[in-house]
Structure 1
Amino acid sequence: MTTNLPLISIITISFNSEKSIEKTIKSVLSQSYPNIEYIIVDGLSTDKTTEIVSSYINVFKEKGFVFKYISESDKGISDAFNKGINLANGKLVGIINSDDWFEKDAVETIVQNLDNNYNIYCGSLNLYDSNLNYLSTRKSRPYLLPLGMYVMHPTVFVERKIYASNMFDTSLKIAMDYDVLLQFRKRGFKIKNIDKVISNMQIGGISWNIEKMRYEEKIVMKRNLSLPFYLLARVKFYAEKLL
Structure 2
Amino acid sequence: MKISIITINYNNKIGLERTIKSVTCQDYINIEYIIIDGGSIDGSAEIIDKYKSKINYWISEKDNGIYAAMNKGIAKSTGDYLLFLNSGDIFTSNESIASVFLNPNFKIIDIIYGNLSCIDKDGIVTVLSYPKKLSFEYFIYFSLPHPATFIRKQLFDTYGMYDESLKISSDWKFFLLMICKNNCSYKFIDITLSEYQLDGISSNFENMTLIREEQVKVFVEEFPNIIHDYMQLEQLKSFFDDFKKSKVHRLLSKIGLIRYPKLKINDQFKF
Distance 1:229 1:125 in 2: 30
RMSD: 2.2
Aligned to 2:267: none
TM-fit CA distance, 1:233: 7.2
Tell me the secondary structure at the aligned position of residue 12 of structure 1: strand
Q: Distance in 2 between matches of 1:68 and 1:216?
A: 32
1:106-145 superposed matches below 5 A: 106-111=96-101, 112=103, 114-116=106-108, 118-134=109-125, 136-141=126-131, 143-144=134-135, 145=138
> Where does residue 167 of structure 2 map in the other structure?
173
Equivalent of 1:198 in 193, 196, 199: 193
The answer to whether the Cα contact below 8 Å between 1:148 and 1:233 also exists between their aligned partners in 2 is: no
User: Does 2:86 match 1:97?
Assistant: yes
Rate the CA distance shift 1:230–1:177 in 2: closer, same or farther, 3 A: farther
Q: Identify if the C-alpha distance between structure 1 residues 8 and 237 changes in structure 2 by more than 3 Å, giving closer, same or farther.
A: farther
Change over 3 Å in CA distance of 1:120–1:230 after alignment to 2: farther
Judged with a 3 Å threshold, the aligned counterparts in structure 2 of structure 1 residues 123 and 51 are, in CA distance, closer, same or farther, namely: same
Q: Which string of whole-angstrom CA distances, capped at 9 and with x for unpartnered residues, describes residues 37-95 of structure 1? A: 0100011111111111111113x2xxxxx521111121111111111011101110111
1:182 is the counterpart of 2:176 = yes
1:161 CA drift (Å): 1.3
Unmatched runs of 5 consecutive residues or more in structure 2? 243-271
- Report the residue type matching 2:209 in the other structure: E
Deviation string for 1:148-197 (max 9, x for gaps)?
33311211111111101320001011001001111212112111111110
Counterpart residue type for residue 151 of structure 1: L
The structure with more radius of gyration = 2
The unaligned stretches of length 5 or more in structure 1 are 1-5, 61-65
Distance in 2, Cα, partners of 1:240 & 1:155: 31
Of 58, 68, 75, the match for 1:79: 68
Checking the alignment, whether the CA contact within 8 Å between 2:89 and 2:197 is kept in structure 1 is yes
Q: Give the 3 Å change call, closer, same or farther, for CA 10–238 of structure 1 in structure 2.
A: farther
Q: Is the 8 A contact 1:140 1:150 kept in 2?
A: no
Deviations 1:98-125 (A, max 9, x none): 1211122221122136323x21111100
Tell me the matched-pair count. 230
SS at match of 2:56: strand
Looking at structure 2, the residues matched to 107 and 158 of structure 1 have their Cα atoms a distance apart, in angstroms, of 13
Q: Percent sequence identity over matched residues?
A: 32
Q: Distance in 2 between matches of 1:238 and 1:51?
A: 53
CA distance in 2 between counterparts of 1:238 and 1:213 reads 19
1:9-30 Cα deviation digits (max 9, x unpaired): 0001111112311111111012
Q: CA deviation at 1:220?
A: 2.4
Task: Specify the alignment match of 1:12 in structure 2.
Answer: 7
Q: Which runs of 4+ in 1 moved over 4 A?
A: none
Question: Equivalent of 2:221, from 220, 223, 230?
Answer: 223
Tell whether the 8 Å contact from 2:143 to 2:175 is kept in structure 1 after alignment: no
